[in-house]
């Protein structure tokens, strides 16, 4: 780990690097520490939506539901018990996000010092980075775990990368989309035979998929059927396009066709699923009681109206990408919601006013537009794919962010930017991994030996080994 902080590669991958690499690595570490300190000072104890308040309340009471991952709720509870505040979650989020980027940046600094510092610093300073990092909850925790997994993978710490990928699946119900490419990258370099690799990757997928259900059973969570909100939202998307089909639906007892037309929006299913008391809607809190009927109806409706289902999903995903004119929908949570513990922000501080001013000014720009970050993810994935035969690590990181974003095409229930937070960070993370690649050519003048002048006893580069074996065979 100390070698990673100094921008050094493991011994079996070390190449001549940038002469100022260690100095740039220290600069990057300083940037990450300063960033974490400033964001913590500005937003302490953290921006909290209703989800975060539920996390904190359930964590303090050790009463878990599977609406949210129990590990996240448990972490909130531990922060409350030990510190008397959820600020421990803010510190954990900032440390993991800043630390993960710093480790990747320090590694890249060994070969591309100033450029690595520029990419790392720009990513940390971006309003989208600190705005979501200051929001307490699973999205920032997930991004931190995945960044650390990416840094471990880049450093050749495959077991650590696997372990952190497993932790990531316990932080968000759909994290498997992001975790599988990183786990596959860790296993790919460990096993030489194709069948062994395939078997190990399949086994890893099974383990990753089963981790969250196992954690829920171990924690004794109350089942509220979180999948139900997706199915109801999909049914609403179908019935607004085919209102004549609503009469035969189980939803007809909750809403009329006119209600559905008013409540349905591709921006969010919240209006439909969390209605005000006495207002029409399909309450999320009672969906578990209707699991079998709603599941069967969803299957029937999708088969009967596939075009309407596809149009609904496409429109919801387009909203998530922010691919439209006008204001961005819910780019970030801007406050600490009213709560029974008296927690509040300190808006009078200089750092709070400065960071909030920058964040709010950028709210409708590309910093909070999913399409920009998905486009960057596609571009970096293509660049990494072109070099994947020499170094697959950047491709695994980029593919993790892209797969995570594409998964929302089928499961998104809201257009909140935080859903794409890992995708937004994975692009710069993959770029840093590319800059830190062992196959990346070092800058001119760094002391590379001339061709043919190898120390006695050293191993030839991979490209030279077949020729070496042929020469030995001819001599023998």
> CB atoms < 10 A from the CB of 459, how many?
10
Radius of gyration of the chain measured on its C-alpha atoms: 25
Q: Which residues contact 122 (CB under 8 A, 6 or more apart)?
A: 428
Contact between residue 107 and residue 436 where contact means Cβ atoms under 8 Å apart = yes
Determine the 3-state secondary structure of 44 from DSSP: coil
- For residue 445, pLDDT beyond 60: no
Split at pLDDT 50, 70, 90, the class of 19 is low
Q: pLDDT tens for residues 314-329?
A: 999 999 999 988 899 9
High-pLDDT (> 90) share of the chain, %: 83
DSSP notation for 366-434 = GGG-HHHHHHHHHHHHHHHHHTTTT--HHHHHHHHHHHHHHHHHHH--B--GGGGHHHHHHHHHHHHHH
**How high is the pLDDT of residue 198?**
82
- For residue 61, pLDDT beyond 50: yes
Q: pLDDT tens for residues 412-431?
A: 999 999 999 999 999 999 99
Side-chain half-sphere of 257: how many Cα atoms within 13 Å?
11
Stretch among 191-195, 206-210, 436-440 having the lowest mean pLDDT:
191-195
Split at pLDDT 50, 70, 90, the class of 471 is very low
Stretch among 89-93, 166-170, 374-378, 452-456 having the lowest mean pLDDT:
452-456
Average pLDDT value for residue range 151-171: 97
If we measure between CA atoms, which residue out of 421, 368, 433, 301 comes closest to residue 13? 433
| Longest CA–CA separation in the chain, Å | 90
Q: pLDDT tens for residues 257-315?
A: 999 999 999 999 999 999 999 999 999 999 999 999 999 999 999 999 999 999 999 99
What is the C-alpha separation between 437 and 418, in angstroms, rounded? Answer: 29
**What average pLDDT does the structure give for the chain?**
89
What is the C-alpha separation between 393 and 9, in angstroms, rounded? Answer: 14
**How high is the pLDDT of residue 348?**
94
What is the C-alpha separation between 90 and 70, in angstroms, rounded? Answer: 18
Q: pLDDT tens for residues 102-134?
A: 999 999 999 999 999 999 999 999 999 999 999
**How high is the pLDDT of residue 439?**
65
Split at pLDDT 50, 70, 90, the class of 162 is very high
What is the C-alpha separation between 420 and 119, in angstroms, rounded? Answer: 19
What is the C-alpha separation between 145 and 99, in angstroms, rounded? Answer: 10
Stretch among 57-61, 193-197, 309-313 having the lowest mean pLDDT:
193-197
Output the six-digit token pair for 239: 């019935």
Average pLDDT value for residue range 368-375: 98
If we measure between CA atoms, which residue out of 356, 332, 362, 335 comes closest to residue 38? 356
Contact between residue 286 and residue 250 where contact means Cβ atoms under 8 Å apart = no
What is the C-alpha separation between 324 and 326, in angstroms, rounded? Answer: 7
- For residue 11, pLDDT beyond 90: no
DSSP notation for 69-116 = -HHHHHHHHHHHHHHSSTHHHHHHHHHHHHHHHHHHHHHHHTT-HHHH
Q: Which residues contact 369 (CB under 8 A, 6 or more apart)?
A: 321, 322, 323, 328, 417
**How high is the pLDDT of residue 10?**
45
Q: What are the residue ranges spanned by the domains of the chain?
A: 2-10+19-222+335-435, 227-321
What is the C-alpha separation between 94 and 429, in angstroms, rounded? Answer: 16
**How high is the pLDDT of residue 463?**
35
Query: What one-character DSSP code corresponds to residue 281?
Result: S
**How high is the pLDDT of residue 12?**
42
Angle between helices 176-188 and 393-411 (to 10 degrees): 160
Contact between residue 209 and residue 50 where contact means Cβ atoms under 8 Å apart = no
């Amino acid at each position: 780990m100390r070698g990673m902080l100094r921008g050094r590669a493991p011994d079996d991958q070390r190449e001549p690097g940038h002469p100022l690499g260690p100095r740039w690595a220290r600069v990057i570490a300083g940037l990450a520490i300063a960033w974490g300190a400033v964001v913590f000072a500005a937003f302490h104890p953290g921006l909290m939506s209703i989800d975060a308040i539920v996390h904190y309340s359930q964590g303090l009471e050790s009463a878990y539901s599977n609406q949210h991952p129990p590990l996240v709720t448990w972490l909130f509870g531990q922060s409350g018990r030990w510190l008397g505040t959820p600020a421990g979650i803010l510190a954990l989020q900032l440390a993991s996000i800043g630390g993960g980027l710093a480790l990747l940046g320090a590694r890249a600094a060994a070969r591309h010092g100033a450029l690595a510092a520029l990419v790392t610093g720009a990513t940390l300073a971006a309003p989208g980075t600190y705005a979501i990092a200051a929001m307490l909850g699973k999205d920032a925790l997930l991004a931190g775990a995945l960044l650390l997994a990416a840094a471990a993978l880049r450093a050749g710490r495959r077991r650590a990368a696997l372990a952190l990928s497993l932790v990531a699946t316990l932080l968000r119900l759909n994290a498997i989309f992001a975790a599988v490419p990183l786990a596959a990258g860790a296993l790919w370099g460990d096993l030489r035979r194709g069948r062994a690799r395939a078997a190990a990757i399949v086994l890893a997928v099974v383990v990753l998929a089963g981790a969250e259900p196992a954690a829920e059973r171990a924690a004794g969570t109350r089942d509220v059927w979180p999948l139900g909100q997706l199915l109801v939202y999909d049914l609403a998307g179908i019935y607004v396009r085919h209102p004549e089909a609503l009469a035969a639906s189980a939803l007809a007892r909750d809403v009329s066709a006119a209600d559905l037309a008013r409540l349905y929006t591709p921006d969010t299913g919240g209006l439909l699923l969390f209605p005000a008391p006495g207002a029409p809607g399909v309450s999320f809190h009672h969906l578990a009681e209707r699991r079998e009927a709603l599941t069967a109806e969803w299957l029937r409706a999708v088969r009967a109206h596939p075009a309407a289902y596809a149009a609904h999903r496409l429109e919801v995903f387009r909203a998530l990408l922010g691919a439209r004119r006008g204001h961005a929908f819910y780019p970030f949570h801007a406050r600490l919601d009213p709560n029974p513990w008296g927690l509040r922000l300190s808006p009078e501080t200089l750092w709070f006013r400065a960071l909030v001013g920058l964040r709010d000014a950028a709210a409708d720009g590309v910093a909070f537009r999913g399409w920009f970050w998905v486009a960057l993810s596609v571009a970096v994935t293509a660049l990494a794919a072109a070099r994947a035969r020499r170094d697959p690590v950047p491709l695994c990181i980029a593919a993790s962010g892209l797969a995570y974003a594409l998964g929302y095409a089928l499961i998104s229930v809201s257009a909140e930017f935080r859903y794409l937070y890992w995708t937004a960070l994975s692009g710069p993370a993959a770029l840093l991994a590319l800059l830190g690649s062992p196959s990346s050519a070092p800058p001119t003048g760094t002391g590379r030996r001339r061709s043919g002048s190898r120390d006695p006893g050293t191993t030839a580069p991979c490209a030279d080994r077949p020729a070496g074996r042929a020469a030995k065979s001819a001599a023998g």
